[in-house]
Structure 1
């Protein structure tokens, strides 16, 4: 079967690799592969353990063993990661997967797909240099997907977040990622991710509530305070990232008899953390399974059974996490405090990040272990009474 894949980033390249390996004729389109992807580039152990490709190929990366969380009031907590996260340059990671797909037999066409039309059961794709035909069309072209626009329509503004930031030369904290929560009700966070040869410092916020200039000012202020030596060498980036509400996730359909959407184009991103890499790769695997069985429409049930419930739960809890309260304080502030004061909370959060625990399981464990957490918090407070205040803040 002739398959056209629009978008040669992670989801598109991985799908092209898998589909070429099982004998399909794959055409992979993308006219902007040389651009660095505007995101952190973090791959959790959930993806590292599940996708054998990461073990079979050596791509330069930073290994992250600590996550520093900072609340709006400046309080912070360091979360040790028992299961390390890897941070990649997205340009290098994307190109490595794309080259692997070409070696497997895919044909890479470095052109932007301007239009996709269906005519008598065949897809007609137009680029600046020519036209192509395909029996099956895959959209892996991000939040502004051309394929999504011609199949189910573009995302509504309420289902998008805006990410802006800068690439900085050098790595300032090579084994630690930083997440900074903003003021109460700010649906999003600021991050600083160390990559191999540069750092990605950015911020995202639910699109209906923000503007690029306001977010850019926040990131610039953070860089000036924490990385003053970066100077004027930083490079700006901006992008839209899907952040679907629960109703949108439930109602949308991301495939048909001769088309399918992957990754960001399908809206597959965690509404709380904005993690999308795992879902991009996993959706490619699930679609390949569906096509291998000659049942493309089964892809819809496959992704819903595999990770759909987790995306729905994150969407349901997003507003509670960023705008809710717990014990008369912002929930994000209490989350940072609990992480700093309780090893049990640290362990459970680590398990959530690495994929060994779902949101529902996290909630259940937190409830069951509340007595232990309270004892740990009290002991931490007692120790802090006999410690220098500056040191106590770091405990």
Structure 2
């Protein structure tokens, strides 16, 4: 009998898993309350690393356009600005409607059955799951939660992420012609950052901050101040605001983060798979979907546990350990970001490492060693350096 798999959530993780399992011969139902592709609170950045590993993201560019980014401007809380070119490893920014549309179409073309309904009931029976979505009823052999940080599947299993392992993300979109430069700024005394990510026909402005650190009104103040600076004093009218939570796991939470059990598994944001420093989640959504697909096709669903831990647990755990120092720490009397930007103007090795990090190609476990080795390498000092400018940090009063 064909394996019957119910996947809750038709974002990148759920759609990629659906496509892979359908191709492998499983009977797949993909549930989502949206009737098709939809926009979502998200910067939409896809790193060069993700584009290399999942090159199907570059398919159908005419129908699902994206914005190629050739450079990223980083602004420190001290008002220092440095622009890093990404000529050798550009990344792309998708509207989530286009990204979700591309991946959902791949899933349905592969044979997955898309059910545009909210799952309202999930009950374990003897050897199956009873999945209820409105008037629709279905028995599944395996259930997958791919439904985000506040996952219904995760909550049903009694494994809700605590607030201390979450961040708040909010923002809005502004119509604008696409440009090949993204901007990321770091407010003072703030565990998170603000961004301007251009897409083909608009700019995504947003902010991410560790839950509980500041109230939501403060986040909107910081974001509005940044947008005024970025748009030279103009704050767009009729802004459609959004807000959502994303995972930001503490170091201690990774070891206890169980994401697979008898007849069920979690992937993507629902599993907590987001880089706690950068907020990067799309790569981990796709990667975890790929790993779970391998486990299910091999008829060894329990192997998903060691697969994801072997693939990226150490790196994300190290990111969680470094997070307080990265955002709140200091280096030689200045913020870490400010000092790194300063070093990029005198040391080409720092520039190279930053470019690799922005491309998603430097892991946190080896990062410190690579930085130290670059300082003793004569060629790194001779590598091209960048120019800093003072812009005055656009922080709310």
Q: TM-score, normalised by structure 1?
A: 0.92
Aligned to 1:190: 194
Residue 93 (str. 1) matches residue 102 (str. 2): no
Residue pairs, 1:363-382, within 5 angstroms? 363-371=368-376, 376=381
Aligned to 1:287: 292
Aligned to 2:126: 120
**Contact 1:168–1:230 (CA<8 Å) still a contact in 2?**
no
Of 259, 262, 273, the residue aligned with 2:264 is 259
What is the deviation of 1:10? Answer: 0.5
Q: CA offsets per residue over residues 294-339 of structure 1, 9 Å max, x none?
A: 0001001001101111111111100010111111222122122223
Aligned to 1:249: 254
Q: Distance in 2 between matches of 1:274 and 1:99?
A: 26
Query: Residue 295 and residue 86 in structure 1: after superposition, are their counterparts in 2 closer, same or farther (change >3 A)?
Result: same
Residue pairs, 1:218-233, within 5 angstroms? 218-227=222-231, 228-229=233-234, 231-233=236-238
What is the deviation of 1:392? Answer: 5.9
Query: Residue 274 and residue 245 in structure 1: after superposition, are their counterparts in 2 closer, same or farther (change >3 A)?
Result: same
**Contact 1:6–1:141 (CA<8 Å) still a contact in 2?**
yes
**Contact 2:349–2:380 (CA<8 Å) still a contact in 1?**
no
Query: Residue 149 and residue 346 in structure 1: after superposition, are their counterparts in 2 closer, same or farther (change >3 A)?
Result: same
Of 257, 271, 277, the residue aligned with 1:272 is 277
Aligned to 2:313: 308
Query: Residue 29 and residue 285 in structure 1: after superposition, are their counterparts in 2 closer, same or farther (change >3 A)?
Result: same
Aligned to 1:387: none
Aligned to 2:162: 156
Aligned to 2:47: 44
**Contact 2:4–2:141 (CA<8 Å) still a contact in 1?**
yes
Q: CA offsets per residue over residues 82-141 of structure 1, 9 Å max, x none?
A: 200010111111011111111111000000111211111211112223222111000000
Q: What are structure 1's unaligned runs of at least 5 residues?
A: 385-390
**Contact 1:115–1:146 (CA<8 Å) still a contact in 2?**
no
What is the deviation of 1:376? Answer: 4.8
Q: Distance in 1 between matches of 2:263 and 2:220?
A: 41
**Aligned residue pairs: how many?**
383
Does the residue aligned with 2:92 lie in a helix, a strand or coil? strand
Residue pairs, 1:109-148, within 5 angstroms? 109-148=115-154
Query: Residue 233 and residue 246 in structure 1: after superposition, are their counterparts in 2 closer, same or farther (change >3 A)?
Result: same
Query: Residue 149 and residue 336 in structure 1: after superposition, are their counterparts in 2 closer, same or farther (change >3 A)?
Result: same
Residue pairs, 1:53-68, within 5 angstroms? 53-58=56-61, 59-68=64-73
Q: CA offsets per residue over residues 5-40 of structure 1, 9 Å max, x none?
A: 000010001100111000000000001355411111
Q: Distance in 2 between matches of 1:336 and 1:130?
A: 55
Q: CA offsets per residue over residues 200-242 of structure 1, 9 Å max, x none?
A: 1010100021221110111112222322456214321111000
Residue 204 (str. 1) matches residue 208 (str. 2): yes
Q: Distance in 1 between matches of 2:255 and 2:153?
A: 20
Aligned to 1:3: 5
What is the deviation of 1:371? Answer: 4.2
What is the deviation of 1:156? Answer: 0.2
Q: CA offsets per residue over residues 148-203 of structure 1, 9 Å max, x none?
A: 1122421100000001111111147x11111100103x110001100111111010
Q: Distance in 2 between matches of 1:380 and 1:358?
A: 22
Residue pairs, 1:339-358, within 5 angstroms? 339-358=344-363
Larger proportion of helix: 1
What is the deviation of 1:357? Answer: 2.5
Does the residue aligned with 1:369 lie in a helix, a strand or coil? helix
Q: TM-score, normalised by structure 2?
A: 0.91
**Contact 1:188–1:322 (CA<8 Å) still a contact in 2?**
yes
